Amino acid sequence: MKVALASDHRGVKAMENIKAILSQLGHEYIDFTDGSPDQPMDYPDGAFDAAGAVANGLADRAILVCGTGIGMCIAANKVKGIRAALCFDELAAKVSREHNDANALCLSGDLLGPAMLQKIVQTWLSTEFKAGRHMRRVKKIKAIEDGIDPRQITSQ
């Protein structure tokens, strides 16, 4: 799997751990992070680049890191076709994939240590979308993105 990566300055250290995890698991990555912990970076820039890579088919999924993960999540979800999820534990990572078919994982660089990052990233990358009854809900999310009332979507 090819994963697009981006972080702001507060996520650089966590992103180094994530790169090691991806390499260990045999995944490729494209890193859109531009800077260092000492050089302020605006999270919307990286979110736009990495989420755009997923939306345009250059990557299969994205992992985005900022101080809390909130800013990256908000920005990534503005990119058409992106379903970004902010996760702080394995359960959220699993459900975001199984139920929501999340294609972008947003993480906190300030609040998550290396062990939890490992668990979340590994779970998120290895969990498949369950489809079934969840497919209708994902279609409703796309309808909203397209400016359509989601109640019009009734089939899976």
Residue 150 included in any domain:
no
Q: How far apart are CA 119 and CA 154, in angstroms?
A: 36
Active-site residue flag, 66: yes
Residue 16 included in any domain:
yes
Residue 53 included in any domain:
yes
Task: Point out the catalytic residue in the list 9, 66, 73, 87.
Answer: 66
Residues in the chain: 156
pLDDT band (50, 70, 90) for residue 94: very high
Q: How far apart are CA 104 and CA 127, in angstroms?
A: 13
Residue 139 included in any domain:
no
Average per-residue pLDDT for the chain: 95
Select the more confidently predicted residue: 25 or 148: 25
The domain in which residue 126 lies consists of 2-130
Residue 40, pLDDT > 90, answer no
Q: How far apart are CA 145 and CA 36, in angstroms?
A: 34
Select the more confidently predicted residue: 2 or 154: 2
Select the more confidently predicted residue: 18 or 133: 18
Mean pLDDT throughout 120-126? 98
Q: For residue range 48-84, what is the model confidence (pLDDT) as tens digits? A: 999 999 999 999 999 999 999 999 999 999 999 999 9
Q: How far apart are CA 20 and CA 146, in angstroms?
A: 37
Tell me the CATH number at 70: 3.40.1400.10
- Count: domains in the chain: 1
What pLDDT shows up at residue 156? 73
63, 137, 98, 28 alpha-carbon torsion, rounded to 10°: -30
Active-site residue flag, 99: yes
Residue 151 included in any domain:
no
> pTM, whole model, 2 decimals?
0.95
Residue 42 included in any domain:
yes
Q: How far apart are CA 6 and CA 43, in angstroms?
A: 8
What pLDDT shows up at residue 17? 97
Residue 147 included in any domain:
no
Residue 23 included in any domain:
yes
